Structure 1
Amino acid sequence: MTVPAILVFDGDCGFCTRSAEVAERIARGRFTVVPWQRLDLDALGLTPQECEEAVQFVRGSGSRHTHVSGHRAVAAALREAGVPWSVVGRVLTAPGLDAVAARVYRWAAAHRHQLPGGTPACALPPGPR
Structure 2
Amino acid sequence: MDRATFVYDGDCAFCSKCADFIDRRIPTGVRVLPWQFADLKELGLTVEQCDEAVWWVGTDGVRAAGPDAIARLLGTSRPGWRALGAALRLPPVRAVAWPTYRWVARNRHRLPGGTAACALPQATRDRLYGTAGEG
Q: Is the 8 A contact 2:28 2:76 kept in 1?
A: no
> 1:76 aligned to 40, 53, 72, which one?
72
Aligned to 1:105: 101
Structure with more of its chain in strand, by fraction: 1
Q: Is the 8 A contact 1:110 1:124 kept in 2?
A: no
Structure with more of its chain in helix, by fraction: 2
Amino acid at match of 1:110: R
**Runs of 4+ in structure 1 over 4 Å off:** none
* Count of residues paired in the alignment: 122
Question: Cα distance, 1:29 vs. partner?
Answer: 4.0
Q: Report the TM-score, using the length of structure 1 for normalisation.
A: 0.88
Q: Which has the higher contact order (CA 8 A, sep 6+)?
A: 2
Aligned to 1:30: 29
CA RMSD, 1 decimal: 1.6
Amino acid at match of 2:74: L
Q: Is the 8 A contact 2:27 2:78 kept in 1?
A: no
Question: Cα distance, 1:32 vs. partner?
Answer: 1.5
Aligned to 1:41: 40
> Using the alignment, how far apart are the partners of 1:33 and 1:27 within structure 2?
11
**Percent of aligned positions that are identical:** 43
Q: Could you say what secondary structure the match of 2:112 adopts? A: coil
> Using the alignment, how far apart are the partners of 1:82 and 1:102 within structure 2?
24
Counterparts in 2 of 1:86 and 1:29: CA distance versus 1, 3 Å: closer
Aligned to 1:91: 87
Q: Is the 8 A contact 1:112 1:123 kept in 2?
A: yes
- Unaligned stretches of 5+ residues in structure 1: none
> Using the alignment, how far apart are the partners of 1:11 and 1:5 within structure 2?
18
Question: Cα distance, 1:125 vs. partner?
Answer: 3.1
- Unaligned stretches of 5+ residues in structure 2: 123-135
> Using the alignment, how far apart are the partners of 2:27 and 2:87 within structure 1?
21
Question: Cα distance, 1:26 vs. partner?
Answer: 3.4
Aligned to 2:11: 12
Q: Could you say what secondary structure the match of 2:62 adopts? A: strand
> Using the alignment, how far apart are the partners of 2:62 and 2:2 within structure 1?
11
